[in-house]
A = this chain, B = another copy of it.
Amino acid sequence: MKVTDLTHSIYTGMPVFPGTEGPIFEKANTLAKDGFQEAKITMYSHTGTHIDAPAHMLLNGPYLDDFSIDKFIGKALILDFTGLKVPSIELDSIRPYEQKLKEVEFVILKTGWSNYWGEEKYYQDFPYLSEESAQWLAEFNLKGIGIDAISIDSMKTITFPVHKLFMSKHVLIIENLTNLESISKEYFTLSIMPMKNIEADGSPVRAFSIEDEEVK
């Protein structure tokens, strides 16, 4: 069983979505004062590698805690769009995977953009799904769709059409994945377990893959 960490570290000054705040770490208890140390952590629900619930953008959309735990783990397919000529992932480039997409519960879009984490470029011209691609993908029976960039929507849209499309189908969106180049197989088991907060519109996750003999 090969376990691969697909998660960015969470730290003071880390990149966050423009307009939101980064995490704050306080030493609430210390070894010197209390005999144990404990941190008081303040963070937004969409910090770092995270998942979006439909409730993030849809009125009356389900929260993460409205789903059973099976929603957050399953068979995944990785599609490689590293070195894409245009930022938009168009339907022509995903249609060839139709048969494979029918066999999985998650699809992961590997773009290589995680290499720019911490740079200005991370927020600019990153690969995203076209609306047409999203329409087509949303017809499969997916639990979630993930990308190694800051958004699955173009930063130029202010209405987040791709987010809302997947949310309307209760497909979870996984953003800011990293280390996807360490996944060797096309198919693997993906876990994106959120914290078990109530009314969770999203959650940081410790995303990881498991590759083994059982997974084709």
Chain A residues at the B interface, C-beta cutoff of 8 Å: 3-5, 7-11, 20-21, 23, 25, 28-29, 31, 35-46, 48-49, 55-57, 59, 65, 69-70, 72-73, 159-160, 191, 193-202, 204, 206, 208, 210, 214
Contact partner, A201, options B23, B37, B70, Cβ 8 Å:
B37
Cβ distance A155 to chain B, nearest Cβ, rounded Å: 14
Is the CB–CB distance between B48 and A196 below 8 Å?
A: yes
Q: Do A38 and B44 have beta carbons less than 8 Å apart?
A: yes
Contacts of A37 in B (CB 8 A): 55-57, 201
Besides A5-B69, A38-B45, A193-B208, 20 more A-B contacts (Cβ < 8 Å) are A4-B69, A7-B196, A8-B196, A9-B197, A20-B29, A20-B38, A25-B199, A35-B57, A35-B159, A35-B160, A36-B57, A37-B201, A38-B46, A39-B44, A39-B200, A40-B45, A41-B44, A41-B45, A191-B193, A196-B204
Q: Please tell me how many copies of the chain the complex holds.
A: 2
With A31-B57, A198-B11 in contact, is A208–B69 under 8 Å at CB? yes
Q: Which residues of B contact A59 (CB under 8 A)?
A: 31
B46 touches A198 (CB 8 A): no
With most chain B CB atoms within 10 A of its CB, the pick from A57, A191, A206 is A206
Closest residue to A53 on the B side, CB-wise?
A: B37
Q: Across the interface, which residues of B come within 8 angstroms of A7, CB to CB?
A: 196
Query: Contacts of A200 on B, CB cut-off 8 Å?
Result: 39
A-B contact pairs, 30 of them (CB 8 A): A3-B70, A7-B196, A9-B197, A10-B195, A10-B196, A10-B197, A20-B29, A21-B40, A25-B197, A28-B44, A35-B57, A36-B160, A37-B57, A37-B201, A38-B44, A38-B56, A39-B44, A39-B197, A41-B43, A41-B44, A41-B45, A49-B196, A72-B206, A73-B210, A191-B191, A193-B193, A193-B208, A194-B206, A195-B204, A196-B206
